[in-house]
Structure 1
Amino acid sequence: MSNRLAVAAATILVLLASVFVTAQPASAATGIHVRNGRIYEANGQEFVMRGVSHAHTWYPQHTRAFADIKSHGANTVRVVLSNGVRWSKNGPSDVADIISLCKQNRLICMLEVHDTTGYGEQSGAATLDQAVDYWIELKSVLQGQEDYVLINIGNEPYGNNAATVANWASDTSAAIRRLRAAGFEHAIVVDAPNWGQDWSHTMRTNAADVYASDPTGNTIFSIHMYGVYSQGSTVTSYLEHFVNAGLPLVIGEFGHDHSDGNPDEDTIMAEAERLGLGYIGWSWSGNGGGVEYLDMVDNFDGDSLTSWGRRIFYGPNGISGTAREATVYSGDPGTDPGTDPGTDPGTDPGTDPGTGACSAAYTTVGDWGSGFQGEVTVTAGSSAISHWKVTWTFPGGQSVSHGWNAAFNGSSSVTATSLSYNGQLGAGQSTAFGFIGSGSAPGALTLTCSVD
């Protein structure tokens, strides 16, 4: 979460940054990495983050959130952890489980220490050095996960105290060097000061020097956009500065409203898409302290999207329409599993080795008058199946505008086909796919399920 105002800039450092970033050798990369100011997977495929934050450290029981976040199209989840300074520590076994959940649900995992929030202004906040101590404690469960995990050293590590903000560059560089000296090869993400919003332009001015402190060249800068970014021109100016300088940037947090002002989420999302920058919205569920409106779903119910949830997932430049799954999960750098026509590359699309039937059942899980959210559950019959197809025609002219967990063809007369990861079902097993529809919600749908 975040706060405050704006001022300052840099010029000569911009040119130096561009030269330095371009000069970074690709051979230094392990797993997710930076090259020429962009973010890539180990196989050289560019990766643009589209995801949300999940407050795991305060709600560890809600592990279903990972599957639900994926079901709405995200390719990344930013996971809130604690190093034990302000909240209960998430130990190695817990973090290992989180990474496993990310991988099971085909999500890239950005892990962050939240205890550093507002250091210098927030009483009891942890230092970046304490955050690094924690990451080093976790080294045994993080090593080998460079294809799947980014390390966000500390959330919003400085408040607005000018004396401590002045140390942001030196402290951040020192933290990066400590992690590299300890043997970490992961992509590292560093948050801006000023509660993440960098209204003082401290990160913007010093980014080139901080980037140069990483001997692997695999540091990514993270800006949090709340009330400081209420004007579209402010959003564009900040993002373009990093892009023009050849410095890697992600919008690590943003919302549709905030206690310090009303951020321009439409411009944030549109400019991220135009510039090819990642964004991660705040947050899945569980907000308190007067900012409950930042919840994307009601009470961790993945089937009950709030207005903010509908906006970030299914609105213009939203996650569902712009996210591309990491190719580490597909094994094919040239294709997007989310647009797979419905065949499993390991099987013949014309045959079903598990010969069997399937059934499908429809439920309306959300209705807001001009649109609705539907879910279809597919269940295999008495024999295993390797792929499925569900067809239907809406009774009142409704249409599908967005969908997930299936490949969709048609809008009013619809065919939904299994993807490579959810077509294989054992006898009696079920899976589900969902969609956002335009028009009034149908009372029922007549569905035909086949396994041709």
Structure 2
Amino acid sequence: MNQPCRDSSLPANDRVNEAQTAHCGITSAAQEAYEPGTRNCSARNSSSLPKEGSISFEDIFKAIDKDKSGAISMCEFRDFAASLLGAKPPVDRPVTPPVDRPPVTPPVDRPVTPPVTPPVDRPVTPPVDRPPITPPVDRPVTPPVDRPPVTPPVDRPVTPPVENPPIDTKGNFSTRNGRIYDPSGREFQPRGFDIDNPQVALQDVDKIVGDWSVNMVRINATQRTKYGQENNYDKELMKKIVDEYTKRGVVVEINDGIGKFANWGSISTGNELKERVEFAKEIAEQFKDNPYVWFATPNETGGAIKANSAQDKAWLNEELAFNEAIRSTGNKNMIVQGDAFWGQGATAGGESAIIRHAAEFKKFGNVIAGQHVYNGSPNAENQLTNAVTKLRDAGFAVIIDEFGYVNQGDGSNPVKTQSGSDAVFKAVEKLGIGALPFRWATSGDDKVYNFTRDIRGKGPRTAWGEQIWRMTHAD
């Protein structure tokens, strides 16, 4: 209902021009109810206000009844009644429903109600349970302990460049922190033995791999009787050997067996060195796509060599030429770098030429240090431990690719080098190095190093053979 003259917006207790205000609001409402568009209250001082008695209470009540929006206030009604009746008290006041309106507005009670709700208990209950639920003290401690063994892959691409800068080892064996890792990234610890005769290596593959559970063998590439037989290397035989072993997941270390009757410890120069280089290129080219084929440098060349001597320079020249020949073919496989002092380096108290020339060897990438151990000293264990530590500090993983002790032929009563052999078995367990005992006996002469009472693994195992068996079958 349109009310341009409504005074109810004023405070209820505003008594200014009380009579006129009352007449204006009520009169306008009543007239609007029965005479729409007629408003006598266009101004507060209008002289056209109805005379006393011209609007009856019935008219007022009808107007109130029509006014659904409550535009006519209790105050207007009361003031208008007083102006009409004068001093006469309005008998009908109790009828006015405004008495019910005050209780309808309970804003006074609302603010009192919220405290009644039990929020006081809510914050109290959860906090009591939360402290025991939060055991983060143990969480950060446990995971970090387990992550390093599982997180080696994170470090693999970062660390190898320190030891093998020129070589991309993806899909190949690699070294890191003195350890060897296979192409899948798992640590690889060589456990097997030497086999002198290639034919026997091929014939006994099931027994060697199946029964003795080896993961690596070291095989002579050829049995030349002298230098100069340039085409004596049997490529087809070696391919068959490599195929049979590597398809079983076994690494084959090809040993340069050139010159079977050459002087032990001699250093190759001139044409002799040229022949070694050509042989290295030939085998490297043949197996460059098979990462399970490793290459051993010339076997046990160089005796007791002093640093910066002519022998030292000649030995280094021989070794570098051999390694360069392998890498010149694009072959990235592992090179087992032999040491001076008849291959024993510092394992028997001598000096390691590998450590002395570490920078020159590491430039080829994927080079590990090969050591031979035939040490009869009671201090053999300490000497071997010190040698392994120094080689690792120089940036090399270590493999003992020859070791053993001489017995009486039937495998009993070792007469020498047992202390060095025992030291190797301990180092395999304590230091995690690889080891290949010498050797799988193929003839009666080999009985002095045999693993069983008879050749080629036949008969009961010797005491020496029992040690090898436990090593190759260890987890």
Q: Decide which structure has the larger Cα Rg and report it.
A: 2
SS in structure 2 opposite 1:253?
A: strand
1:69 maps to which of 184, 202, 208? 208
Higher relative contact order (CA 8 A, sep 6+): 1
Count residues with an aligned counterpart. Answer: 296
2:399 paired with 1:243: no
d(CA) in 2 for partners of 1:128 and 1:35?
Answer: 32
1:295 is matched with which residue?
450
Task: Map residues 136-155 of structure 1 onto 2, 5 A cutoff.
Answer: 136-146=281-291, 148-155=292-299
Q: Which amino acid aligns with 1:211?
A: F
1:184 maps to which of 328, 331, 340? 331
Contact 1:255/1:294, CA 8 A, preserved across alignment: yes
d(CA) in 2 for partners of 1:122 and 1:27?
Answer: 34
Task: Map residues 7-406 of structure 1 onto 2, 5 A cutoff.
Answer: 21=162, 24=165, 27-57=168-198, 60-61=199-200, 63-70=202-209, 71-82=211-222, 84=224, 86=226, 89-115=232-258, 121=264, 127=272, 129-146=274-291, 148-160=292-304, 163-199=310-346, 200-214=350-364, 217-227=365-375, 230=378, 231-257=380-406, 261-286=417-442, 292-297=447-452, 298-302=454-458, 304-314=460-470, 318-322=471-475
Give me the identity figure in percent: 21
- In structure 1, runs of 5+ residues without a counterpart are 1-17, 323-452
Query: Which of structure 1's runs of 4+ aligned residues deviate more than 6 A?
Result: 116-120, 123-126
Q: Flag the 1:108–1:170 CA change in 2: closer, same or farther, 3 A.
A: same
Q: Flag the 1:83–1:157 CA change in 2: closer, same or farther, 3 A.
A: farther
Q: Flag the 1:108–1:43 CA change in 2: closer, same or farther, 3 A.
A: same
Deviations 1:47-100 (A, max 9, x none): 11011011124xx25533222121212111111222736398341101101101
d(CA) in 2 for partners of 1:263 and 1:172?
Answer: 30
Q: State the shift of 1:117 in Å.
A: 7.7
Deviations 1:149-181 (A, max 9, x none): 111132212344765355323321232122212
d(CA) in 1 for partners of 2:377 and 2:216?
Answer: 23
d(CA) in 1 for partners of 2:361 and 2:206?
Answer: 34
Deviations 1:222-245 (A, max 9, x none): 000002665221111111212233
d(CA) in 2 for partners of 1:286 and 1:177?
Answer: 33
SS in structure 2 opposite 1:227?
A: coil
Q: Which amino acid aligns with 2:369?
A: F
Q: State the shift of 1:123 in Å.
A: 7.3
| TM-score w.r.t. length of structure 2 | 0.55
Contact 1:224/1:253, CA 8 A, preserved across alignment: yes
d(CA) in 1 for partners of 2:458 and 2:213?
Answer: 12
Higher strand share: 1
Q: State the shift of 1:288 in Å.
A: 6.3
d(CA) in 2 for partners of 1:184 and 1:237?
Answer: 32
Deviations 1:6-36 (A, max 9, x none): xxxxxxxxxxxx9983574774445222234
| TM-score w.r.t. length of structure 1 | 0.58
d(CA) in 2 for partners of 1:116 and 1:29?
Answer: 35
